[in-house]
Structure 1
């Protein structure tokens, strides 16, 4: 895989970041509201749950770092979330629900990862594509099973 060391470092960093961010958010789910001067949440459990989910993503990113040839799908789902999150926040800002100060979360959680995740997905695509064509030694779905044109 091209740039394997870079991709491993990227996903170690993403994994550590997500785990730390997630744990802190579970322990102090009001931190973001205080930082951005939003009213404190009446249901901080929802933000704590977001922290738990992002922390779990961190474990998945560490798995991509461990086996980068097999992490394409996890990284694709991760990048999709990193694109959809800013779109959702943009809507909240445009409609006046949240202030512009809340952009800080999107910069660190999402935007800084777009380029490295995209580069990884491009480099990992051949391995992912080949894994669908290669017999795995056990019965399961392969590209041939899904090919309805035959």
Structure 2
């Protein structure tokens, strides 16, 4: 089943942006082909001896218009066309700036750069950001007709969670209350910082009667190496590449501000550089936020969703208060 077509029909605003860009490119390209001297005359630049060169530029711009119109029909499938156009709209102004500084082109040509390139930066960047966010979501592989039941769809399509000791969350929580620690993708510096903090707080958390269980999006083998590198030798972990558990516990995917806000950048610099956690390759859904959850006797006691990408473990007082006061809610997976 073609899930990209379904989602493209539901994601309407990029279609209108790309159609507007297509019409603009076709009109501008046709104008340059039919009247190659107009722009030169208006800006006081000497006419070209060989206007066919400039007309070829108009042809290229017009062909991009056809590409944008095609991309508008299914941007999730034809996003490379948008990417190529976006790169052209970045490099074009760079080239103009160099030529203007050398005195080869008048600054008045900047009006063309404004309408051809600059005004499209934000909408094209937003389209590409949205495409990447949708394609990186494991749930994007679920056909829209099956979305009424995430569990049924996940059973059929998404990889199911696997624990390092073969036990389910329900089984683990029957032995003693557990603290599920949901980390972001393994390359994220905040993921690594969370594991480092967990290693230093193991005795404190276990002293509260909780057994930590790390949930990650990597394979069991990758997860094992990641935990061992942070000294978590005897900590159970669960591989959840389909983010089934993240969704079950209603942990959100981040917004732009939650993932890339100024505070996130600053804390990321502190974690990666000053505290030495570094960064790695993307392994999992880069938009998925982390969090934590207490599960006891197969029941979810409390969920602690992350406010943004930097959020680490709940503090001891939060855990202690939750254990004392919170009433159990939905059954765990």
Q: TM-score range by the shorter chain?
A: 0.7 to 0.9
Aligned in 2, Cα 1:13/1:111: closer, same or farther, shift over 3 Å? same
**Secondary structure at 1:97 match in 2:** coil
2:123 counterpart residue number: 116
TM-superposed deviation, 1:126: 4.1
Q: Indicate the residue corresponding to 1:62 in structure 2.
A: 69
Choose the corresponding residue for 1:50, options 50, 57, 61.
57
**Gaps spanning 5+ residues in structure 1: where?**
135-150
TM-score when normalising by structure 2: 0.38
| Counterpart Cα distance in 2 of 1:48 and 1:128 | 38
Q: Is the 8 A contact 1:72 1:125 kept in 2?
A: no
**Normalised by the size of structure 1, how large is the TM-score?**
0.82
1:96 equivalent in alignment to 2:107: no
2-structure distance, mates of 1:128, 1:46: 40
Question: Which whole-Å CA distance do the structure 2 matches of 1:90 and 1:9 have between them?
Answer: 30
Is residue 81 of structure 1 aligned with residue 88 of structure 2?
yes
**SS of aligned partner of 2:12:** helix
Query: Contact (CA 8 Å) 1:18, 1:57: kept in 2 or not?
Result: yes
| Structure 1 counterpart SS, 2:76 | helix
In the aligned structure 2, how far is the partner of 1:55 from the partner of 1:88? 20
Could you tell me how far 1:71 is from its partner in structure 2?
2.1
Distance in 2 separating the partners of 1:24 and 1:129: 40
**Partners in 2 of 1:111 and 1:16 — Cα distance?**
17
Give the Cα–Cα distance (whole angstroms) in 1 for the partners of residues 69 and 109 of structure 2. Answer: 27
Corresponding residue number in structure 1 for 2:328: none
How big is the shift at 1:21? Answer: 0.7
Q: In structure 1, how many angstroms separate the alpha carbons of the residues matched to 2:115 and 2:57?
A: 15
Q: Give distance in 2, aligned partners of 1:88 and 1:48.
A: 19
Task: Tell me the C-alpha RMSD between the 2 structures.
Answer: 1.8
Structure 1 CA distance for aligned equivalents of residues 50 and 32 of structure 2:
13
* Corresponding residue number in structure 1 for 2:318: none
Q: Return the match for 2:15 from 8, 11, 28.
A: 8
The structure with more radius of gyration: 2
Q: Which runs of 4+ in 1 moved over 3 A?
A: 126-130
Structure (1/2) with the larger strand percentage: 2
Aligned position for 1:106: 113
Q: Deviations over 1:125-147 (max 9, x none)?
A: 145568xxx8xxxxxxxxxxxxx
Residue 70 of structure 1 and its aligned partner are, at CA, apart by 1.1
Gaps of 5+ in 2: 1-6, 142-333
Higher helix share: 1
Count of aligned positions:
131
